[in-house]
Each structure stands twice: as C-alpha cells, then as structure tokens.
Amino acid sequence: GNSVTQMEGPVTLSEEAFLTINCTYTATGYPSLFWYVQYPGEGLQLLLKATKADDKGSNKGFEATYRKETTSFHLEKGSVQVSDSAVYFCALLHSSASKIIFGSGTRLSIRP
Amino acid sequence: DAGITQSPRYKITETGRQVTLMCHQTWSHSYMFWYRQDLGHGLRLIYYSAAADITDKGEVPDGYVVSRSKTENFPLTLESATRSQTSVYFCASSERGNTEAFFGQGTRLTVV
C-alpha cells in the first residue's frame, strides 16, 4: 500500500544552518507530494507541494523536489531561522485514493 | 470568517461519556476528514467524507461515529469515550479528493 517514511527527530540546528529533512514514499503511479508544517499549538499548514516527477515545490525559503527515480521528496532550506522551529510532515495523495497519507513527523528546533 | 473551524478547542470528559467534536468549513469543499494525532503515530485518518451523506472509514475508525447531513459540517462523535481516545483531533477539508487538504486548529481531548 501507499506509505511515507521520514527521518525521525528531533532535529536541532543552529540559526543559519542548512536543513535537510528526508522523506521517501511508497506508491504506485504518480502521487502528489506535500510538506505540511505544524507550529506549536496550531493545526497543519501546507508548506509546499509537487504534483509530478521533477517538479520543485518552494515556499518561505523551503524547497523540495519530486524524485521519481529515488521515490523521495526531501525538504531543504539554506539558512534556517528560530521561527522555523515546528513539526514537519511529509505526505502523499494518490489520485485514486482521495485521502492524504502522512509520515510520522519530524520535530525541528532552531537555537539562536 | 472563511476557513475551517473546530470546537471546542479543549475538552475533558469522563470514561464512558459521549462526546461530539464539531467541524465547520466555509469553502463548500466536497471532502472532509478527521485525523487524530498521537506521539509516535503522526496523523492517522479516522473517517472521511466525499460529499454530504457519504462517509467512509479510515485507518482507525473503531469507537467513532460521523455524519454529514450538510456539506459544511462534519461532526465526530465518540459514543463511549475511552482513555485510549485521549488525543488531539484535527478536521480537514479539500476541494476535491485529489487536492491538498486544509486543516482546522485541532481539539485536544482528554478522557479521564
């Protein structure tokens, strides 16, 4: 079946460090891929998405590229800020399924 | 205000009691979802609905009941609450089954 695996946290970085959060998926065909972010005490917000192979989603300095050959959608940011501290969820949506499947989430903490 | 709202934000109830969590969206989205978020499990789908009067089970439906008499509302009922249902519950909606979902702010439910 469809599934998402993302790196376990917590991840702790210093401000201005480079961030990578790994995400791989298992699915048939070509699912849409998402990164959601959850700030403390809030619901999930869509951070970025990609709907086909080689698409790059980007928002707020974050990027992720849909890699069909490695079934991956790693999240990257060149210089993180304290305000990026949150839990990040990788997710997929198969066009035939109509429900989003989430990874287990990665907690990111950025220290000043 | 447009968007998706959940109520209450916090609820404490006793084992065996019935409790209903409310979800309301103003976008006229066809699809609505209920997830629960627990440490170590990420988000798990409880129930979803493709349209008014159409509902289907997700990954963890036992102990929950849903209804959708109107497009904009999707209440979740715990018929006889158990301690294992202590969790944070998120409602979400999407325009169609193959697009991203938008989340409410969550309801933190504690069953004592």
Q: How much is the pLDDT for B83?
A: 97
pLDDT at position A62? 98
Chain B segment 70-99 residues within 8 A of A by beta carbon are 90, 92, 96-99
Quick one: pLDDT at residue B36?
96
Average pLDDT, stretch A4-30? 93
Q: Tell me what pLDDT residue B1 has.
A: 60
User: Is A96's pLDDT higher than 80?
Assistant: no
**Which of A87, A90, A109, A82 lies closest to A37 in space, CA to CA?**
A87
Checking if the pLDDT of B88 tops 80, the result is yes
Query: A17 — contact with chain B (CB < 8 Å)?
Result: no
pLDDT of B92 > 80? The answer is yes
- In sequence order, what are the residues at sequence separation of 6 or more whose Cβ sits closer than 8 angstroms to the Cβ of residue B52? B68, B69, B70, B71
What's the pLDDT at A99? 80
Identify the closest residue of chain B to A10 by CA–CA distance.
B40
More confident residue, A105 or B97: A105
| Segment A37-81, tens digit of pLDDT | 999 888 899 999 999 999 999 999 999 999 999 999 999 999 999
Average pLDDT over residues B15-39: 95
